[in-house]
């Protein structure tokens, strides 16, 4: 009769054949915890309460909800694999089992001062094609709150500088129109001039181009944004999605219109947008603490 360890070794070999060392290591580690919980009992004898008890023990030991979710997924995968050749393996022990929900993390945003400093045009009068392109990208990222995938997917034909709008294709190729502010329109116009003078005859229709004249890639955008943040003295980690979060938070703080922010962000559900109301409340609480006479700490006098 195959031992639990031998069954795991066989499962590990099947994972290795799939070519994902990270998944193999993570799943084998997770399944070893189930072997420990089962002790000497064969896997086929485990009941639903045994699985629940094993999960609860890991949770009590400090395992994070996200890690517990991966652990439960690994156990399920292992049992499904074994059930293909062993009829005694009972897959119903996992029916209805869910890992504890992880607390939602609040989006990481820049302050309004940091965001404005980050996207402000360079002081120098002379601009290079790269600096003009970067300025336009940053203005669009913060000014429209679009995703990095939406940014690099923009074509020249998606931009209407007369009406001040861009056509964006979001998740699932869902189309929406986003407004362009004057700074973004000016930056795009300046970039299009540079683009025309430097390879404008190329067949590439992408709005933003890389060094070789092809559609720009996400890593290039991230590096350019990180470099700009360093130049502007912003020490915290700055990445494209952080500008998207900042856009949503700042618009909500100014307008208080959650539905409008939902439309601008391209969220299918208002629930996805509601996370920014927590940020808005934090902002209001901070203002209250600083400004209201009953909230300010009394100053000590010497």
Contact 221, 137 (CB under 8 A): yes
Q: Facing residues of 177 across strands?
A: 167
- Is 53 an active-site residue? no
Could you say which of 48, 76, 117, 147 is catalytic? 147
Contact 277, 267 (CB under 8 A): no
Could you say which of 133, 195, 244, 250 is catalytic? 244
Could you say which of 16, 29, 57, 171 is catalytic? 171
What is the edge-to-edge ordering of all strands in the sheet holding 159-160?
159-160, 165-169, 175-179
Helix axes 112-119 and 240-255, enclosed angle (nearest 10): 130
Q: How far apart are CA 224 and CA 218, in angstroms?
A: 10
CB atoms under 10 Å from CB of 34, counted, come to: 23
**Per-residue tokens: 3:** 């031992």
- Is 126 an active-site residue? no
**Per-residue tokens: 155:** 């074509």
- Is 276 an active-site residue? yes
Contact 85, 50 (CB under 8 A): no
- Is 212 an active-site residue? no
Contact 225, 242 (CB under 8 A): no
- Is 292 an active-site residue? no
Could you say which of 241, 278, 286, 296 is catalytic? 241
Q: How far apart are CA 37 and CA 54, in angstroms?
A: 6
Q: CA neighbours within 13 Å on the CB side: how many for 66?
A: 3
- Is 278 an active-site residue? no
Could you say which of 242, 245, 250, 276 is catalytic? 276
Active site residues: 147, 171, 241, 244, 267, 276
């Amino acid at each position: 009769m195959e031992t639990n360890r031998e069954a795991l070794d066989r499962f590990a070999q099947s994972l290795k054949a799939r070519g994902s060392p990270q998944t193999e290591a993570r799943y084998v580690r997770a399944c070893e915890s189930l072997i420990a919980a089962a002790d000497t009992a064969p896997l086929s004898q485990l009941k639903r309460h045994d699985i629940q008890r094993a999960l609860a023990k890991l949770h009590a030991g400090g395992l994070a909800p996200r890690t517990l979710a991966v652990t439960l997924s690994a156990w399920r995968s292992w049992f499904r694999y074994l059930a293909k050749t062993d009829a005694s393996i009972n897959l119903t022990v996992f029916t209805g089992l869910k890992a504890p929900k992880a607390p939602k993390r609040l989006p990481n945003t820049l302050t309004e001062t940091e965001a404005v400093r980050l996207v402000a045009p360079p002081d120098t009068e002379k601009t290079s094609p790269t600096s003009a392109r970067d300025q336009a990208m940053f203005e669009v990222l913060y000014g429209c709150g679009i995703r990095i995938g939406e940014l690099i997917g923009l074509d020249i034909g998606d931009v209407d500088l007369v009406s001040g709008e861009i056509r964006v294709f979001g998740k699932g190729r869902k189309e929406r129109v986003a407004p362009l502010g004057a700074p973004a329109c000016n930056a795009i116009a300046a970039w299009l001039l540079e683009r025309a003078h430097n390879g404008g005859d190329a067949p590439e229709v992408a709005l933003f181009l890389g060094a070789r004249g092809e559609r720009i890639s996400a890593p290039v955008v991230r590096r350019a944004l990180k470099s700009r943040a360093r130049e502007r003295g912003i020490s915290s980690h700055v990445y494209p999605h952080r500008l998207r979060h900042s856009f949503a938070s700042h618009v909500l703080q100014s307008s208080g219109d959650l539905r409008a922010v939902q439309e601008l962000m391209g969220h299918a559900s208002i629930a996805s947008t509601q996370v920014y109301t927590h940020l808005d409340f934090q902002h209001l609480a901070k203002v209250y603490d600083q400004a209201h006479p009953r909230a300010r700490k009394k100053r000590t006098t010497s």
